[in-house]
């Protein structure tokens, strides 16, 4: 009994026929493409690598001899099958384990390469003698083979070529770089931008904070030039070059003064921060590790943060550019808290200052809104009774915070953790937190 074809069966058959036609069209195109490529060769012989022969041989074995005869292949079917037989033979071929000269240890090869790259004038005998001083006995011809295998030329050829890396390392001891970075600080005038000038020594990576100001004008820069080149304790003593960008803050008087004192200013090309990469890396480090984690109130808190981070940077922070070592190691015995923990303590201290300032800010905020201040606040009168150099800054910062609250939060620069803490404190007193 014959079963009638269902509509679904007809659909499957039609789809299979369509796929078969598509595959045949693709095969016909690839065959024609091979013919065109062969015409381009004009009888020239193709050169295949071992990897290409293996890939073609694996595919040819699946097709078989009959199908290969029908195709327009780049090589004959006999060649493809011969490659496949060699592939099988390689599978069962093992390296001979017999007597012979052992290989040079990798440690010695690394030492030879390092000596040749760092000392371009050293020949085979000089490198062989230096290795003998370290207790590594090899022949000069072995040094020659190692260098030749890694593409390093003999000493007479290497002496003629000096890389920029070698040239700069030879002059690092007399090179320094400078740059500015900005910090936003709360004062009695609200948020004020402070400019910090620093110098970094390229050889040792040590950093010197030259000055902090809100107005980096010509007079400030000229005084910085005098301080940096002072004959007794100037940071640029024994330095011959100072790398800087084309910022207008580096005035012509500043550059001329340095030049007269024997420090030649080197100005980077415009929009080329990579030319002053060491200074840019320090700016990123101090921002991410310290300044971006703090809310600073007054210039004194900024200077203290810079001083604490400077000691941490010099004595407790490892630097990858100098072999992941400390710049100036300190004896850790008897030091219960590191400078890094001291910076964290500064963050906690700044939060306590925020609590005190918010308390007085609530009173000023209520006065601005025409409401009675909460009983828990001290009020401005209590702040006026405080004595000490921080009194005016605290009061001014409180007014700035209160005005920011009254204006709907514009200009309030709390970091995520401190902002959440401030929001809780304001809501606790029944004050609506402003929406940005």
- 232 inside domain: yes
Cα–Cα distance, 414 to 249 (Å, whole number): 29
| Per-residue pLDDT, 371 | 54
Please spell the DSSP secondary structure of 352-380, one letter per residue.
HHHHHHHHHHHHHHHHHHT-PPPTT--HH
Q: Per the domain annotation, does 336 fall within a domain? A: no
Say if 368 falls within a structural domain: yes
One domain, residues 293 and 401 = no
- β-bridge mates for residue 184, sequence order: 193
Residues 53 and 199: their CA atoms lie apart, in Å, by: 60
Structure tokens at 213: 């100001």
Q: Are 179 and 214 in contact (CB under 8 A)?
A: no
Q: Is 146 found in the same domain as 181?
A: no
Contact predicate 413/191, CB 8 Å: yes
Whether 152 and 182 share a structural domain: no
> Is there a domain that residue 117 lies in?
yes
On whether the CB atoms of residues 73 and 34 are closer than 8 A, the answer is yes
Domain of residue 421, residue span: 342-428
Cα 216–219–223 angle (5° rounding)? 95
**Whether 188 and 271 share a structural domain:** yes
Q: What tokens does 259 get?
A: 């030049």
Assess if residue 199 is contained within a domain.
yes
Residues 202 and 153 in one domain: no
With respect to residue 96, please indicate whether it lies within any of the assigned structural domains. no
> Domain check: are 60 and 126 in the same one?
no
User: What are the mean pLDDT values of the chain's consecutive 10-residue runs (436 residues total)?
Assistant: 56 64 72 74 74 74 72 71 77 67 84 85 88 88 86 74 73 92 90 95 93 94 94 91 94 94 92 89 93 89 92 88 82 49 50 55 56 46 38 43 44 42 55 46
- The gap from C-alpha 83 to its chain's centroid, in whole angstroms, comes to 49
Token pair belonging to 426: 């304001």
Assess whether 201 and 290 both reside in one domain.
yes
Q: Residue 421's pLDDT is what? A: 55
CB-based burial of residue 32 (10 Å sphere; 0-12 exposed, 13-18 middle, 19+ buried)? exposed
DSSP reduced 3-state for 265: strand
Q: According to the model, what pLDDT value does residue 15 have?
A: 64
pLDDT at 181: 96
Residues 140 and 179 in one domain: no
In the sheet where 264-267 sits, what is the strand order? Answer: 207-213, 190-201, 175-187, 241-244, 264-267
In a domain, 250, yes or no: yes
Kindly report the CATH number assigned to the domain that includes residue 201.
3.30.420.10
CB neighbourhood size of 221 (10 A): 21
Mark whether 197 and 251 lie in a shared domain: yes
Domain annotation covers residue 20: no
Look at residue 266 in the predicted model and tell me its pLDDT: 93
Please tell me the predicted confidence (pLDDT) of residue 92: 74
- Looking at residue 260, what is its pLDDT? 94
Domain count, the chain: 4
218/242 same-domain check: yes
Which among 207, 399, 403 has a CA at the least distance from the CA of 297?
399
The reply to whether 205 and 115 lie within a common domain is no
pLDDT value at residue 56: 74
Q: Which of 278, 297, 316 is the last residue of a domain?
A: 297
Q: Which whole-number Å values give the CA distances from 362 to 47, 100, 356, 412, 430, in the listed order? A: 84, 87, 10, 15, 10
Q: What is the pLDDT of residue 2?
A: 52
Are residues 288 and 228 part of one domain?
yes
């Amino acid at each position: 009994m014959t079963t009638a074809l269902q509509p679904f069966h007809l659909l499957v058959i039609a789809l299979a026929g369509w796929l078969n036609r598509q595959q045949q069209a693709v095969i016909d195109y690839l065959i024609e493409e091979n013919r065109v490529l062969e015409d381009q060769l004009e009888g020239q012989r193709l050169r295949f690598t071992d990897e290409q022969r293996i890939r073609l041989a694996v595919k040819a074995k699946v097709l078989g001899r009959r199908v290969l005869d029908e195709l327009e292949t780049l090589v004959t079917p006999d060649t493809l099958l011969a490659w496949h037989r060699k592939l099988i033979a390689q599978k069962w071929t093992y390296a001979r384990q017999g007597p012979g000269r052992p290989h040079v240890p990798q440690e010695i090869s690394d030492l030879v390469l390092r000596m040749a790259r760092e000392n371009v004038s050293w020949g085979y005998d000089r490198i062989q003698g230096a290795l003998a001083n370290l207790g590594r006995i090899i022949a000069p011809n072995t040094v020659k083979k190692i260098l030749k295998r890694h593409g390093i030329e003999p000493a007479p050829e290497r002496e003629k070529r000096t890389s920029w890396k070698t040239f700069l390392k030879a002059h690092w001891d007399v090179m320094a770089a400078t740059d500015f970075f900005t910090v936003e600080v709360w004062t009695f005038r609200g948020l004020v931008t402070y400019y910090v000038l620093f110098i970094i020594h390229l050889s040792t990576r040590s950093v010197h904070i030259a000055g902090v100001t809100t107005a980096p004008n010509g007079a400030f820069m000229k005084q910085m030039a005098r301080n940096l080149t002072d004959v007794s304790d100037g940071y640029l003593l024994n330095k011959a070059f100072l790398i800087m960008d084309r910022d207008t803050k580096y005035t012509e008087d500043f550059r001329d003064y340095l030049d007269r004192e024997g420090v030649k200013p080197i100005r980077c090309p415009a929009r080329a921060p990579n030319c002053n990469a060491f200074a840019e890396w320090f700016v990123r480090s101090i921002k991410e590790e310290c300044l971006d984690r703090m809310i600073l109130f007054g210039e004194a808190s900024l200077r203290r943060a810079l001083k604490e981070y400077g000691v941490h940077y010099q004595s407790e922070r490892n630097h990858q550019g100098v072999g992941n070592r400390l710049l100036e190691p300190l004896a850790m015995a008897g030091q219960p808290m590191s400078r890094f923990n001291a910076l964290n303590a500064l963050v906690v201290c700044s939060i306590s200052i925020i609590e005190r300032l918010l308390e007085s800010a609530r009173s000023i905020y209520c006065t601005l809104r025409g409401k009675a201040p909460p009983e828990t606040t001290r009020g401005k009168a209590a702040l006026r009774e405080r004595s000490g150099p921080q009194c005016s800054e605290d009061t001014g910062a409180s007014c700035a915070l209160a005005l920011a609250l009254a204006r709907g939060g514009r200009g309030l620069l709390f970091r995520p953790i401190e902002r959440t803490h401030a929001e809780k404190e304001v809501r606790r007193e029944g004050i609506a937190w402003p929406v940005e």
